[in-house]
Amino acid sequence: MALNYFQPLFDVIRDKDRCIKCQACARQCSNEVHRYDADLDMMISDSQQCVDCQRCVCICPTGALKIVDNPNKFRNNSNWSQQIMTEVYKQAETGGVLLSAMGNPKEYPVYWDKILLNASQVTNPPIDPLREPMETKVFLGKKPKNVSFNEDGSVKTETTPTLELSTPIMFSAMSYGSISRNAHESLARAATELGIFYNTGEGGLHKDFYQYGPNTIVQVASGRFGVFKDYLETGAAIEIKMGQGAKPGIGGHLPGAKILEDVSRTRMIPMGTDAISPAPHHDIYSIEHLRQLVLSLKEYKKPVIVKIAAVHNVAAIASGIARSGADIIAIDGYRGGTGAAPTRIRDNVGIPIELALASVDQRLRDEGIRNEVSVVVAGSIRSSSDVVKAIALGADACYIGTAALLALGCHLCRSCQTGKCNWGIATQRPDLVKRLNPNIGYQRLVNLVHAWDHEIKEMMGGMGINSVEALKGNRLMLRGIGLNEKELEILGIQHAGQ
């Protein structure tokens, strides 16, 4: 008998006194953890298959189930952790590259949690957002340096194309194929109702969602999946994806098991074939090449975004992008989510979005080109306070991805790459997709953004600031805590108490 080197990560605990053997857990679990044994007249659990998605816990009518960490551990070793040992066993068995989903889960610093906001007291009194006007509307795109006049003395009002957002939040790129049709519909409908934008990701746009075009950002990635004239004409803006925070320097990979008929048609590739995006765009090897594509896409008379991953020389890269003619730079930090990425890349490549944002904003200001582009940041924007801190560090707006999926029911079990999402989000299986009701999903997204918008206004009011534009780049409103001198220098903020 072959030895099993793998210990279950979790234990499924069933209270036999509460369990009524209704088999709801067995019907709901796509990982086949639960089954009913007729001979024993009892429910049996296979903890080895559990990914801790919590679906069975939520669905159990008597509260008989709970998922706990498996207390059985390998002998403690500060260097060779249980996770590392298990990964070695797995690669020795399969000979394959380790895959993971979602963002970097390592215990690296989360700088949002080490930055504190200021509050007004006496000389600059706070503003009550319930009684006084607060402006959270933002415009993304090139800003005029000064006011220009026509020959008759009237103000010139013509500007380059911009995106108008009711609040500085957008739904980040998640492709159809990596997430379900119902998830995409929820995002599209929510963006439309909120007056913001959602991003198609690199998988094209389903024909049923062209109606949401005025609130859609269409993406052009290295694989060019689903990219054609109608697609580019439909979107309100076009995003060129050069990199992604979860996997900088490499392309994308959607397994063939997820390429069903609708996804195949939308991506314009054969059913059942893996969708592999190359690491580089094969027509872009310099800023000059990027500029050619930017100018070509500007023929569609809409803003062009260039998305990059947060890496060590991100400020220099952003400077080049600003000079390429792009209207918006999107920067994705190393905690940004993904449907699948090589584990070693996800956990070891890239830098925190907070440091990248501060570096980029300062570089663009130093070069006098900050108004040439807007800056949008992503990569684990978890709450409205993260949004406020990002804007104060220099962002014009934020993309949210994982937070949006959590609103739809995601429990961060980090097994998106399997296509067995029990919540109907990161799957193409019809029996699982239908578990996400877009009528409910889109309303939950609307609720989330409305709540954040209200909190943003409260925090700005507490600082005595009545508009996002006045907050942008206002680092005097920030103080660091528990940060060293170099971190404070890069962030451009003072320590708490100063």
pLDDT tens digits, 232-247: 999 999 999 999 999 9
Identity of the amino acid at 316: A
* pLDDT the model gives residue 254: 86
| Mean pLDDT in residue range 349-374 | 96
In terms of Cβ atoms closer than 10 Å to its own Cβ (0-12, 13-18, 19+), residue 464 is middle
Residues 6+ apart with CB under 8 A from 166: 136, 137, 194, 195, 196, 453
Q: Render 216-272 in DSSP notation, one character per residue.
A: EEEEE-TT-TT-SHHHHHHSSEEEEE---TTSTTS--EE-GGG--HHHHHHHTS-TT
Q: How far, in Å, CA of 460 to CA of 471, rounded? A: 8
Q: How far, in Å, CA of 145 to CA of 218, rounded? A: 28
What are the residues facing 480 on neighbouring strands? 115, 495
DSSP 161: -
The pTM is what? 0.94
Residue 306's pLDDT band (boundaries 50, 70, 90)?
very high
Residue 124's pLDDT band (boundaries 50, 70, 90)?
confident
* pLDDT the model gives residue 1: 53
Query: What sign has the CA pseudo-torsion 145, 150, 156, 158?
Result: negative
Q: What is the mean pLDDT of the chain?
A: 94
pLDDT tens digits, 247-292: 999 988 888 888 899 999 999 999 988 888 898 999 999 999 999 9
On the CB side of 211, CA atoms within 13 Å amount to: 6
Q: Helix, strand or coil for residue 64?
A: coil
